[in-house]
Chains A and B, each alone.
Chain A
Amino acid sequence: MWQDLYSGLQEQNFIIIAVAMDSRADAARPWIEAAAPTYPALIDRDHRVAELYNMVNVPQAVWINEAGRIVRPAENAGAFEAFRSLDFETMTVPEDKAATATAAKTTYVNAVRDWVLSGADSGYVFNDEQARARITVPSAEIAQAHCHFRLGQYLLRQARADEGQEHLAEASRLHPASWNIWRQAAAVNDLGLAAGPEFWERVNALGDAYYYPPVDMADMPK
């Protein structure tokens, strides 16, 4: 997903770290092999990064500067929810929505490039106060949810499936806003996507709320 961006910037003291929120390494591996990234592609079976950075969906991204400081906290990495306008008869999305999705992705990628080339002078970099204002921090329930998720994944790896699933369900109950937790636990269809009827019910229940909240950038298409 990021190789084109990275190829043009790898001489710029810049690295991409891609993290797959995948409890089964075998599910992520073919995608990584096909993409053949020249940056690290890591597998996060316990969703550790989501826990540390309070992430709830994919794709989300964090910008971290040379000093290891967060200059854009966890946010949607340029995805636009065109899929919510999917026509189930034709299995296509309207052209205008597809175009917005492409434009959103392009805007985000261009913003990353601007940051890599301009550093702290980039208009997309937040100062400390702005960054703090945009950080969402975990509640006690969310922290507890990640504990159940981790225990559940461990039990699944020990072939204690029923008990493991109970803990994943408890994790999702405690942290309903996390699509990562819910979709990881959900049954997968033959495409390997947790996108069955229950997923659509859950998406539709969002109503006017976003699945991919628009990235906080002035030129981001909405």
Chain B
Amino acid sequence: MNLSEKLRTFISGKHTGNINTDGHAEDKDHYPVMEKILEATMVNTPLGEHFVVEKTYKSCYMHGEIKLDSVFNISPEILKLIAKNSVFESLDFSRAVFIDTETTGLAGGTGTLAFLIGVGFFEGNDFKITQYFISDYDEEAAALYSLSGLLKNFDSMVSFNGKSFDIPLLSTRYMLNRIENPLEKTFHLDLLACARRLYRERLESVSLSSLETNLLSLEREGDIPGYEIPSVYFKFLRDKNPYPIKPIFYHNRMDILSMVTLTVNMAKSFKAPFDSRNCANQDYYCLGRVFEDMRMFEQSIKCYQKALNVSGVRKRSYTQLSLLYKRLDHWQEAESLWIDMAKSNINTIFALVELAKYYEHKLKDYDKAAQITQKALETVYKKRTLVGYSLKDEIAELKKRLERIKRKREKHQSQSIIEEAY
């Protein structure tokens, strides 16, 4: 057996005599067809050639019922909320790129290539998408070089899941090609995190396609499912037939356009949360959390209040709102909420314990505090009978609390007696 035969039996366990009939990699005959079919241009760089596809969307272009340039109407305050981080108030969309890559796999690691890098940005009010395409591995350095050149004109990035996927992957590619990485210093807004914060309760999935269908009223035509992309590209590498990869370019552009639309949509949710076109149901709990974290308590309270009757987030909204009242020293509101909770059996033990704390520490009404703690204890016992598992810690804690309150009550009573005696 020669080495190849051995290899074949060793590796594949078959004698296929598989002769490699793939087109020779160095052939450039397909270039003209590619330029035509993909509407691509060959670009020369000091590091070699690569293809680029450019598309411009006029300022009136609508994507998902939204005009792209309406991102410019997003105020700094709203940007802070979208990012849940006040540094982002200075994000300037005229100096930002929307970036998305198509790769040879999702596994990550050094063996995954970003073969199509799409970058969307505004030129005036027009939106332009430049797609750097690597029609074979040896064009990578050239494409990365061009991307670096373009990024010099911008100081921010917007992505969807770019923080954990696209950007580390591109950073790896820059390092492997020994080119300075232009992505590290840039300001990066990852919309996946923002969208998850806002819509995770209402939507089962916050993938871009789910957001498009459920939120942005978008439908794609002639798209390719993401999981098919690597194999379609590998096939292209072998046969250089540009037709099957055309949808990948479309897919990439749609992703970028949807990022713009999604940003605008999120801005609306924060700007006019009570407009039913912008937000619904479980969103209010999520909005409440963001507003609370950003210390916009008035809005937060309004959102939580709206979420109190939404199934799925009801318990958490009650709990969160009551704690917010407590934090803001709105004790009466907090108390009435806790009473409601105890009555309607929403996170009852929590509510009772909070009430007990309130009566004990705030009102120093030890009778009431003891009474409520006793009730909490009974509830736990009842729960134990129902669920059948031990709630030792909870019981011990409540007992401890009850004893402390009783001690305080006695001390207080004896003190009052002494005072009265005087």
- Co-complex (A, B): no
